[in-house]
Chains A and B, each alone.
Chain A
Amino acid sequence: VTHPILSILLSGGIFSVTGCAAKPMDRAAYLTHMPSSILVLPPVNHTADVGASDAFLATITEPIAERGYYVFPIALVDHFMKENGLPTPGDMRQEATPNKISEVFGADAVLYIDILSWETQYIVLDSSTRVRLSYRLVDAKSGLELWKWEQLVVHSSSQGQSSLIGMVVSAAVHQATAGIQRERQPAGRQSTTKSLHQDRASPK
């Protein structure tokens, strides 16, 4: 069952996002292994559009951080893995197992993203981009699947769609991750967090 969840009018572009869980969402595994840090692996692109992955790298971490997680900086992760002999997102997916990621990065969970399709159609002056995405969140220590989501994003624009595609991705990820919004911390931990935040200053 798919149903429109989000439809936003945005400076000359309209996009809508529909999502459906691959199966009725069972949050039990997620709730018992709720991560505090997530490592997002660079998305595996199954399409012919070579720019699709790059659009993600620049915009993907922010909407996940807004859900309350520590998200590892994806440019650094990408660089680090390339330096360690994993040149493509496909290689990273294959070789960097959840367990290894736990060991090397100390991440609680790994988010795998697949760009399943990315089609742009041009009709006179308008363009319409349809993107199909799938997400899989896995507990790093146990390899247990915590959450799964598949999503179709449709973006129509009378302007060049390239400048807006980052916003589309950001909105899509924001919507997709609604199911894994981090629960509020127990009251006892809030004061600690608050003092940590106040403690923050830029390095000299």
Chain B
Amino acid sequence: MYLEQADFKAPDEIRRLTGEIQKTAAEHRKVPPGQYAYVGYLYYIGGGATAPRAYFAAEKKAFPESGQFVDRLIARMP
């Protein structure tokens, strides 16, 4: 159900979350774990190719702990 909701509201969610990320970065604060990856995922289910990769890479850069999972996600992308 959560995923279907995300699917349905993806453009709104992307706008809200990228806004949050920009604000956080401007204030030199740390973006919460998973946020870049989640935005990447929203772009991905919206059919994007470049944006998901960029956001997955940002997750890995910010949180090296995510590296293994993020690499796997990128490898599976068409």
Interface residues of A (CB under 8 A from B): 36-37, 51, 54, 57-58, 61-62, 65, 69-76, 78-80, 82, 104-108, 196-204
CA distance A197 to B31 in the complex (A): 9
The DSSP consensus for interface residues of chain A is helix
- Listed A/B pairs (18) with beta-carbon separation below 8 Å: A65-B32, A70-B65, A73-B37, A73-B38, A75-B2, A76-B73, A79-B3, A82-B3, A105-B72, A106-B66, A106-B67, A107-B69, A199-B61, A200-B30, A200-B61, A202-B21, A203-B36, A203-B54
Alpha-carbon distance between A19 and B66 when the two chains are bound, in angstroms: 31
Choice from B3, B33, B58 contacting A70 with Cβ under 8 Å: B33
Cβ-defined contact, B69 with A105, below 8 A: yes
Which residues of the other chain, B, contact A104 by a CB distance below 8 angstroms?
A: 68-69, 72
A37 / chain B contacts, CB cutoff of 8 Å:
65-66
A72 partner residues in chain B, CB cutoff 8 A: 33-34, 66, 69
Kindly list chain B residues whose C-beta atoms are within 8 Å of the C-beta of A69: 33
B15 within 8 A of A: no
